[in-house]
Amino acid sequence: FRHSYSQLQPQSNRPSFGIAFDIDGVILRGRTPIGGSPQALRRLYRDDGTLKIPFLFLTNGGGVPESKRASELSELLGIQISRRQVLQGHSPFKEVVNGYENELIVAVGKGEPAAVMSEYGFKKVLSMDEYASCFKDIDPLSHYKTWRIKQTYDENSSKELLPRYDVYSDRVKAAFVVSDPIDWGRDIQVLCDILRFGGLPGRDKGHQPPIYFASDDLEYQAAFPTERLGMGAFRIALEGIFNSVSSSPLKYTSFGKPNPFVFKNAEVILTQLVSDIFHSQDNMDGGTGHEFSTLYMIGDNPKVDINGAMKAGRPWFSILTRTGVFRGKDNDTQFPADLVIDTVEEAVDYILKRER
């Protein structure tokens, strides 16, 4: 759904600032709101529930389409969040659809990685679960695994059932790590097969197809007291193993923060949100004429959130909270934020006072 941005506002009332919120370690830990996040976010809405201050979520996480993540966040936080306000690690994957629209690709990770890619316009997508299940014995440890995944071959016969696509002669043209992989052992094995054998596991060696990662976070803050290994850790594991079994080193591309283009994109979306909130007569510019004097990035990870805002430069202003990866008393030494504060609630309070 969309917000009802109904009121016409004079241009002078347009806020000259916007806010990007990191999710894990700032807004949520696991599925639990932290740092007074629901109260903080409520302050960005009018009494009638419409948006007052342009804001979005800028997370390296993901695994479900943006529309679904928006509904999940709305429910957890008790506010109305639109799909456009959710930028996930994999959101930029839609920009590379052109090369692969009708090509076979494999989507890896927790949640619904194939649904994410289909929504971006990729027409021939298989999740790693489905792809791996097409190849009998590709994972020699599968019989020891107590969890069940959807099988597309008949376990009682040596014959594979027909998969949706001809995976035995159709090469995988690219692999996309959409979200944190669940079964690292199988996924590293099968990705090595795809990457070493030119997209056809069990065949002769071939050119490495491209592999894209939604982000490169070594660690992130989840519900456990200390950090958990993220997609960057998986990338290191895959790369270390691939480079040991292959004659040429792994070539890969990572998206997500701290890449400055992620912040540039956030700025574009925030500008469009201003146009939506204030969809006024002067909206002939298509939402690109508005200039922010300040864009706030509120994050918990200096290496990712603060470093990213620093690289993006003006008008970004970075705020580091102590509810996630960073727990220090003073500022981070390597990537110092413009402001260090305990919680997201205090951060929003600071911003609203500063912008009054």
Q: Would you say 170 or 227 has its CB closer to Mg ion?
A: 227
What DSSP state is assigned to residue 130?
Answer: H
Query: Closest distance between ligand G3P and the C-beta of residue 215, in Å?
Result: 6
Would you say 120 and 93 are in contact if contact means Cβ atoms under 8 Å apart? Answer: yes
| Residue in this structure with the two tokens 């402001």, named with its chain if needed | 339
CA–centroid distance for 301 within its chain: 15
Q: Distance between CA 100 and CA 109 in Å, rounded? A: 19
Q: Binding residue for ligand G3P (CB under 6 A) from 18, 25, 54, 209?
A: 25
Q: Would you say 59 or 152 has its CB closer to ligand G3P?
A: 59
Percentage helix, strand, coil for the chain under 3-state DSSP, each rounded to 5: 35, 15, 50
Length of the chain (residues): 356
The site string for Mg ion over 4-23 (x = CB under 5 A, - otherwise) reads: ------------------x-
Q: Would you say 57 or 131 has its CB closer to Mg ion?
A: 57
Q: Distance between CA 12 and CA 133 in Å, rounded? A: 59
Q: Interaction with Mg ion in 21-50: which residues (CB under 5 A)?
A: 22, 24-25
Q: Interaction with ligand G3P in 86-145: which residues (CB under 6 A)?
A: none
Q: Binding residue for ligand G3P (CB under 6 A) from 19, 20, 23, 340?
A: 23
Query: Closest distance between ligand G3P and the C-beta of residue 217, in Å?
Result: 4
Query: Closest distance between ligand G3P and the C-beta of residue 255, in Å?
Result: 12
- 33 binds ligand G3P, rule: CB under 6 A: no
Q: Binding residue for ligand G3P (CB under 6 A) from 37, 59, 189, 254?
A: 59
What DSSP state is assigned to residue 272?
Answer: H
- Cβ neighbors of 42 (< 8 A, separation 6 or more) are 78, 79
Q: Interaction with ligand G3P in 167-226: which residues (CB under 6 A)?
A: 180, 215, 217, 220
- 275 binds ligand G3P, rule: CB under 6 A: no
Would you say 302 and 320 are in contact if contact means Cβ atoms under 8 Å apart? Answer: yes
Beta bridge partners, 248, equal none
- 60 binds ligand G3P, rule: CB under 6 A: yes
- Cβ neighbors of 188 (< 8 A, separation 6 or more) are 237, 238, 241
Q: Which residues bind ligand G3P (CB under 6 A)?
A: 22-25, 59-61, 180, 215, 217, 220, 230-231
Q: Which residues bind Mg ion (CB under 5 A)?
A: 22, 24-25, 300-301
